[in-house]
Amino acid sequence: MTQTESISKRLDGKIAVITGGSSGIGLATAQRFVQEGAYTFIFGRGQSEVDKAVKDIGKNVMGVRGDVSNLADLDRLYDMVKQQKGRIDVLFANAGILEFAPLGSITESQFDKSFDINVKGLLFTVQKALPLFQDGGSIILTASVNASTGFEATSVYSATKAAVRSFARCWTVDLKQRKIRVNAISPGPIDTPMTRSMVQGESGQQLKNKLLSTMPLGRMGNPDEIAKAVSFLASDDSSYVTGIELFVDGGQAQI
């Protein structure tokens, strides 16, 4: 966010929970949510990473360490939210991992780990939050352009994100009586620790340049460009938007 950018307070008074909130897209979104007026709980894996994120954000934030694929950790997260604030208005189910493996060398443990975190973890992140949800709240799920495109060595990851996109459709219907909106956000390549580890070395740079050369905006996105779109979906500005997949991808999957 630039110094001169004026910050709206469109999330004033809202209680938000962000998984994967200690790094990358989740951290940028937590920063923006707090600046826009929400009290925000961040949930992430490493205690030191969570502590650092809480310190950097500074106020109106609480960190909880845990693993989304461990249901007892999710219970601990929501016990904390219930005890501290008593309700949730906005849930950004964002934690996820990406591991590369082409068909032929996918292992059972890689498959299980990806689906445990990206699919099972996300499902129970949402399901276990429901008792704390206010009618009229907003749930945002992090999918990916990979749900709609074919890149080499990403079939397992892409399948997990296609499942996430499907969840947004079905849960929109399951939750319609409670007027809870559910939307998916699909980022293109965003400069975060996840992608930084992929573009290291000469071959990584070549891969990055090849990808960017095919994209209308010709560059990677920054995490706050996703955070701004998530904040829109979290806020009442998107009160007539539900069930969608919002691509924030520099045009990558649109042409």
Q: Which residues bind ligand NAD (CB under 6 A)?
A: 19-20, 22-26, 44-45, 67-69, 94-98, 117, 121, 142, 144, 187, 189-190, 192-195
Closer to ligand NAD at the Cβ: 137 or 189? 189
What's the min distance (Å) between Cβ of 197 and ligand NAD?
8
What are the CA-CA distances from residue 124 to residues 15, 43, 78, 219, 250 (Å)? Answer: 19, 14, 11, 34, 31
What's the min distance (Å) between Cβ of 146 and ligand NAD?
7
Q: Which of 39, 78, 157, 240 is catalytic?
A: 157
Distance CA 29, CA 145 (A): 19
The phi, psi pair for 162, rounded to 5°, reads: -65, -35
Closer to ligand NAD at the Cβ: 97 or 159? 97
- Number of C-alpha atoms within 13 angstroms, CB side, residue 9? 3
Active site residue 78: no
What's the min distance (Å) between Cβ of 46 and ligand NAD?
6
Closer to ligand NAD at the Cβ: 134 or 153? 153
Distance CA 132, CA 176 (A): 16
Determine the straight-line distance between the first and last CA of the chain, rounded to whole angstroms: 28
Closer to ligand NAD at the Cβ: 14 or 45? 45
Query: Residue 184: left (phi > 0), alpha (psi -120 to 50), or beta?
Result: beta
Alpha helices in 85-139, H assignment, sequence order? 108-115, 122-129
What's the min distance (Å) between Cβ of 239 and ligand NAD?
25
Please report, as a single letter, which amino acid is at residue 42. I
Catalytic residues: 157
